[in-house]
Amino acid sequence: MSAKRPPAPPPQLPGFTYLELLGSGGFADVYLYEQHLPRRKVAVKVLLPDRMAGGSVEQFTAEANVMAMLSTHPAIVTIYQAGLADDQRPYLVMENCPRPNLQVRYRAATFSVAEALRVGIQVAAAVETAHRAGILHRDIKPANILVTEYNRPALTDFGIATTTDGADETAGMSIPWSPPEAFGDRPDSGVRSDVYALGATIYTLLAGRSPFEEPGGRNTAADLIHRIETMPVAPLERADVPASLEQALVRALAKSPSARFDSAVSFARALQRVQIELAHSVTPIDILDDSPEAEDDEDADGELTRVRGIVSIEPTTAPPAGSTRRKDRADAVSPFAPSAPPVTSADADHTVLRPSAGERDATVRRPRTLDAAPEQTVQRRQPAATSAAPAGHESDETSGTPVGASTGGADPAQRPRSRSWLWISLGAVAAVLVVAVVVVASMLQPPATAEPENSPAPTSAPQDPLAGFVPRVGDLAGATSGDQVTFTWTNPDPIEGDTYLWYPVTLDGAGAPQRVEAETIAVPADPSGRTCIEVQLVRSNGGAGDAVRGCTP
């Protein structure tokens, strides 16, 4: 565990208190600080003093601007602020992601298919968002995908990102996850290069190794480049990986860029279809579109029509509902469009309901008024009310004219009686209808089955919401003895089968994880004078608690 270089001293930042070193890279150190207002822990990336010359400052500034542009995305590390420290070193204040990154995770244990699909879709949405803003990441790999406190992946390290128009194509690369075109005489990169790196990352999570790494074989840089350029990707050899997922990964890792998915969102949709096939919960694709006037062509399944602002693309609607729907499409129906010809003044007195498209020839209901009801009711067998009608004649049935209807000579006293008969008739009809409905309902109702007298009432076992919770280890501390440091810790809730995953934390980042059963481990002391490790409690069912870091003073 020798350090390549000692860390640079942390800068004094107004409003922040330094806590500890998180890691280091070739261009910068990353420290943990506590921000005073609002009070929270943050990660601060500081450019190294010996990197101030040349174009490193401009590259660092470009990274700050790119991440600030994209960091509102839920799967991209959030940038809070940037500036110059008192010693003139540029720094970035970022979201602190305390959980182990995906490189540490996959080296400890391979991912389940469900988690690999979820992470792949979420990161693909972040990559698509960057592409729509005109940014290529160019260094997608497990170590550059951090994990937030809420167990969400967060893409970081846009240090060698460039615009889609191209810049310095040789700025940097990570060989195991780089596409074949990155190793040509004239290195090239584009949208489909990021798709390749994303596919290689998902493959790595499932296989526990990069796509062209041979376990137990030679895996030098030259060997990896040769395999990436010439050999097909090896099958995953996992019984729980469906053929559709294998096919999606093979397409993403195609040698020719034209044979790959044409965009990150197309790759994400393919992963969504695998989730549907496996009856998993479908992960939405969150996209921030920086060019609202540009339209996307609908794919074969109609899963995406248009993205405006931040949207969630759910595969359960075709096309998705909500703000992604265009209002000016030719087939769109305006809520104010008439569903029938306009009503003229001549029709206004008798037209009540507008016929639908399939009912244009149906009967049009006309309004009735209570004042007209007595005149439209034919009274039969009514006794004569005036001397104009001979005794014994109730109506002039030969002419078909009811008494009192032809000339209006009927006794006005009969009108109330006619109205009352109308209401009585309507009431009788309503009563008959109610009785008929009750009889039909009783005939259709299935016969009730008697429950056994001694049958116990169904009960459900109470659910324990903390049943799957795995605690952190406690009292992690190290004691130095010569060139050895002995770390010990405690298990707050011991269960049979518990083991511990530990890995050293050096200036180069987290080392390879190792599994132990005892609650102690001895490691060589770091030459820098400060030795750190992180420890996780792992249950026999695969569940793991949060990592706890311990360092010697």
Give the residue numbers marked as catalytic: 138
CA 515, 521, 526: angle at the middle one, nearest 5?
Answer: 110
Neighbour count for residue 342 (Cβ, 10 Å): 7
CA–CA separation, 22 and 261 (whole Å): 36
Show Cβ contacts of residue 168 under 8 Å, excluding neighbours closer than 6 positions. 162
CA 442, 447, 451: angle at the middle one, nearest 5?
Answer: 140
| 3-class secondary-structure state, position 1 | coil
CA neighbor of 156 nearest in space, from 97, 89, 83: 97
| 3-class secondary-structure state, position 499 | strand
Distance between alpha carbon 377 and the CA centroid of its chain, in Å? 67
Neighbour count for residue 109 (Cβ, 10 Å): 14
Amino acid, single-letter form, for residue 26: G
Neighbour count for residue 316 (Cβ, 10 Å): 11
Amino acid, single-letter form, for residue 553: P
SS (H, E, C) 113-145: HHHHHHHHHHHHHHHHHHHHCCEECCCCCHHHE
CA–CA separation, 22 and 44 (whole Å): 9
Show Cβ contacts of residue 91 under 8 Å, excluding neighbours closer than 6 positions. 11, 13, 44, 45, 46, 47, 82, 83, 84, 85
Give the largest Cα separation in the chain, rounded.
Answer: 138
CB 125 within 8 Å of CB 287: yes
CA neighbor of 354 nearest in space, from 366, 344, 335, 339: 339
Q: Which tokens go with 299?
A: 């794919």
Amino acid, single-letter form, for residue 195: V
Sign of the dihedral defined by the CA atoms of residues 137, 142, 148, 151, in that order: positive
Q: Which tokens go with 152?
A: 């969400």
Please list the residues that pair with 93 across neighbouring strands: 44, 81
Through-space distance between the first and last CA atoms of the chain, rounded to whole angstroms: 17
Residue with tokens 């279809």: 273
Task: Please return the burial class of 385, using the count of CB atoms within 10 Å of its CB with bins 0-12, 13-18 and 19+.
Answer: middle
Kindly report the backbone phi and psi dihedral angles of residue 544, in degrees, each rounded to the nearest multiple of 5, phi listed first.
-135, 145
CA neighbor of 263 nearest in space, from 294, 228, 230, 225: 294
CB 72 within 8 Å of CB 288: yes
Task: Please return the burial class of 438, using the count of CB atoms within 10 Å of its CB with bins 0-12, 13-18 and 19+.
Answer: exposed
